[in-house]
Amino acid sequence: MSILIQGVQHNDLTTDVFINGNVIETIGDCKEKSAETVIDGSNKAVLPTFHNAHHHAAMAYMRSYADDLELFEWLNEHIWPLEAGITEDDVYHGARLACLEMIKSGTTFFNDMYWHFHGTARAVEEMGMRAALGAVFIDMNNADRRDANIEQAKQLLNESKRYSDRIQFQLGPHALYTVSKEALIWCSEFASEHGLMIHTHLSETEKEVEDCLKLYGIRPPEYLDRLGLLGPNLTAAHCVWLNQSEMELLAERGVKALHCPTSNMKLCSGKFRFTEAQAAGIQIAIGTDGAASNNNLCMIEEIKIAALLEKHFTGDPTALPATVAWHSGTRAAAEMFGLNSGIIQEGALADLMLVNLDNERLVPGHQLIADMVYSADSCCVNTVICDGKILMQNHHVPGEEEIIAKGREFREKFRR
């Protein structure tokens, strides 16, 4: 498939963009090229799409289900009891709803951890997105559950090969307080053997740190390091309660930190110290977390909140400038997962969006990236392309009405 975008703004210039297959082939004068699909880029700008670095997509079915609660009460008394009864079909429809919301706000990739792997994978395939999907691992120090989790992960690794290369399989040990030492060691060894990424939660709350000290006499990063988990293939969500030496340890090991400012604030988990972590050398990407703790999946909003929170927290208006925040929501996660996306250049994957420059939030248009970080919302996103295929045009996703109607059924189902 080929797509020609004519007369679009790129780096303050009016140009054409030619997509051949799933790659941006040409940025420049393309009047001699013919394409199967031609898009008028007038009064629009082409930008890379967002990459959501930490997510539980199917939890879209829990949006506003349990709000204004402390994290462990939220998990133990509301989230986990409800999840005990969900089916793969529930996950599929919840993940479709999440994919729809992400596409409509310009996101084409997300890093996920959740139950019923195939439910989310089916949704990603159908919606045309990219994702790194983790087989969630929670054994609560129960040997039988651990063995079942291990067998399931082995099976899912083989079964994941049925999907397109837009889906990456990874391991998802939830956290050190829900996964046994033996299971964490197994995850580290299995991931190393098969070249897999590992997605976990780390130092999310002060209680997690205190409990780790009581149980093991050391803090969470050192505990995971002793088990062999800290390495370039580990993406660690939240990382709120890190001290300086722990930041340096994560940087030395090549661990990637996933910053979720809205979820951290809503659950009062704490404040991730972006400026200090970056200075220590940690790679950082921004994610929304799931809709149960955010409660939306708009990366435009998440990037803005990350930038403003860092300025407020440090007392420095120059902290986390727009360009750095933008990179953390676009290119950073792409690099973490080996994707040539999150950037507009020839030879890159054709994952891009067109934003409407006539939208009042982007006028007068002094600095587009600053406008996208501090001013824009999802209504500014007109067209979304992923892997060379149009997922949304004129802010409409084919089939969105049916997805929304199906999503409404969750309310009555869970009430029953």
Q: Which fold has domain 50-336?
A: TIM Barrel (3.20.20)
Per-residue burial over 368-401, b if 16 or more Cβ lie within 10 Å, else e, is: bebbbbbbbebebbbbbbbbbbbbbeeeebeebe
* Partners of residue 169 on adjacent β-strands: 133
Of 5, 18, 53, 20, residue with least CA distance to 387: 20
Please state the φ and ψ torsions of residue 94, each to the nearest 5 degrees. -65, -40
Q: What is the largest CA-CA distance in the chain?
A: 69
The residue assigned the tokens 């691992």 is: 137
State the pLDDT at residue 10: 98
Fill in the amino acid letter for 76: N
Kind and range of the H or E element at 96?
Answer: helix 88-104
**C-alpha separations of 394 from 23, 153, 353, 355, 359 in Å:** 22, 40, 11, 10, 13
CB 140 within 8 A of CB 110: no
C-alpha span between 367 and 307 (Å, rounded): 16
State the pLDDT at residue 20: 98
pLDDT in tens, the chain (416 residues): 999 999 999 999 999 999 999 999 999 999 999 999 999 999 999 999 999 999 999 999 999 988 888 888 988 898 888 888 889 999 999 999 999 999 999 999 999 999 999 999 999 999 999 999 998 999 999 999 999 999 999 999 999 999 999 999 999 999 999 999 999 999 999 999 999 999 999 999 999 999 999 999 999 999 999 999 999 999 999 999 999 999 999 999 999 999 999 999 999 999 999 999 999 999 999 999 999 999 999 999 999 999 999 999 999 999 999 999 999 999 999 999 999 999 999 999 999 999 999 999 999 999 999 999 999 999 999 999 999 999 999 999 999 999 999 999 988 887 76
141 contacts: CB under 8 Å, gap ≥ 6: 180
C-alpha span between 413 and 54 (Å, rounded): 27
State the pLDDT at residue 78: 87
State the pLDDT at residue 103: 98
**C-alpha separations of 99 from 41, 56, 58, 110, 229 in Å:** 25, 11, 9, 9, 30
Cα four-point dihedral sign 307, 312, 313, 314 = positive
Q: Does domain 2-48+342-400 have CATH number 2.30.40.10?
A: yes
State the pLDDT at residue 56: 97
Kind and range of the H or E element at 26?
Answer: strand 23-28
161 contacts: CB under 8 Å, gap ≥ 6: none
The reply to whether 2-48+342-400 and 50-336 are identical in fold is: no
Fill in the amino acid letter for 336: M
Query: What residue spans define the domains of the chain?
Result: 2-48+342-400, 50-336
C-alpha span between 45 and 224 (Å, rounded): 44
